[in-house]
Amino acid sequence: MITEAANYLDAVDRLPRDGTLVLYGVPWEEYEDLLVLMEDKPACHVSYNDGVVKIMSPRADHEYPKDVALSLVRVYADELDIVLESYGSTTYRERKKAKGVEPDTSFYVQNAERMIARKEIDLENDPPPDVVVEVDTTNESFDKLEIYAALRVPEIWRFDGHWFQILALGENTYSETANSLALPLITGEILTEYLNLGEINGQTAMLKAFRRFLKART
């Protein structure tokens, strides 16, 4: 199986920024082998949905929005004395559901204490992340929503290049909601406002302003 997975790497190496490689009919074992081979290519994100593998090479502008979101969350947790565990772009997968996905970043809030110091995550026994962040300027993340829903990820923060929106999981699909379920003082508008503030005044000033915002409301 490793040999089969290795055959894809030449195509991955030729992917341009913001490019996507789609593979069909990939067995689960081959997907897991591919994840091992892709460990030295952390910029690329791999998803798996019932035998379909998508390998995406993010644009450079993916980094800033997801870093801002996580920085705001860390300040929020510190200011409100909330336990937070960040797991970055960890691969979340479940063989029984034939689903796997790598967000731009992810974290636990409601289940944070349970996940402290966890080295590996097994979704057959562990909860999914409470929030994932997807920076999506080409609508690629819409294909991931089915995967996230199957894995029962309760909340997605999606940035489309201009605005953040917060999506909450219903019975089987996501719909936009005003406030974060995990961190209720955060809205899509707040995330967008402080992202823009950071681009104008810098991240240090942005985080100080966000801390003042939180102090005024708690």
- Residue ending a domain, among 14, 30, 56, is 56
Return the structure tokens found at 8: 């894809």
Structure confidence at residue 20 as a pLDDT band (50, 70, 90):
confident
Q: So what's the pLDDT on residue 84?
A: 98
Task: Tell me: do 85 and 44 sit in the same domain.
Answer: no
Q: Report d(CA 173, CA 83) in Å as an integer.
A: 28
Task: Tell me: do 114 and 157 sit in the same domain.
Answer: yes
φ, ψ for residue 18 (rounded to 5)?
70, 15
Task: Tell me: do 103 and 9 sit in the same domain.
Answer: no
Q: Structure pTM?
A: 0.92
- Residue ending a domain, among 29, 56, 83, is 56
Q: Report d(CA 183, CA 197) in Å as an integer.
A: 20
* Dihedral over alpha carbons 98, 113, 190, 147 (to 10 degrees): 0
Task: Tell me: do 12 and 74 sit in the same domain.
Answer: no
Task: Tell me: do 9 and 88 sit in the same domain.
Answer: no
Task: Tell me: do 51 and 67 sit in the same domain.
Answer: no
What does the chain look like in DSSP terms, one character per residue?
Answer: -HHHHHTTHHHHHTPPTT-EEEE-S--HHHHHHHHHHGGG-TTSEEEEETTEEEEE---GGGHHHHHHHHHHHHHHHHHTT---EE-TT--EEEGGGTEEE--SEEEESTTTGGGTT-SS--TTTSPPPSEEEEE-SSSTTHHHHHHHHHTT--EEEEE-SS-EEEEEE-SSSEEEESB-SSSTT-BHHHHHHHHHHHHHH-HHHHHHHHHHHHHHH-
Q: So what's the pLDDT on residue 61?
A: 67
Q: Give residue-wise pLDDT tens across range 171-205.
A: 999 999 999 999 999 999 999 999 999 999 999 99
Task: Tell me: do 41 and 122 sit in the same domain.
Answer: no
The domain of 42 spans 2-56
Judge whether residue 2 has pLDDT over 60. no
Judge whether residue 215 has pLDDT over 60. yes
Count of domains forming the chain:
2
Judge whether residue 41 has pLDDT over 80. no
Q: What is the CATH number of the domain that holds 167?
A: 3.90.1570
Q: So what's the pLDDT on residue 142?
A: 78
Judge whether residue 144 has pLDDT over 60. yes
Q: Report d(CA 103, CA 166) in Å as an integer.
A: 15
Q: So what's the pLDDT on residue 1?
A: 47
HSE at residue 97, side-chain half, CA atoms within 13 A, is: 18
Return the structure tokens found at 75: 């300040």
User: Higher confidence at residue 151 or residue 43?
Assistant: 151
CB 134 within 8 A of CB 165: no
User: Higher confidence at residue 114 or residue 61?
Assistant: 114
Structure confidence at residue 5 as a pLDDT band (50, 70, 90):
low
Task: Tell me: do 46 and 74 sit in the same domain.
Answer: no
Q: Give residue-wise pLDDT tens across range 107-142.
A: 999 999 999 989 889 999 999 999 999 998 766 677
Judge whether residue 59 has pLDDT over 90. no
φ, ψ for residue 156 (rounded to 5)?
-125, 130
Q: So what's the pLDDT on residue 24?
A: 93
Task: Tell me: do 86 and 146 sit in the same domain.
Answer: yes
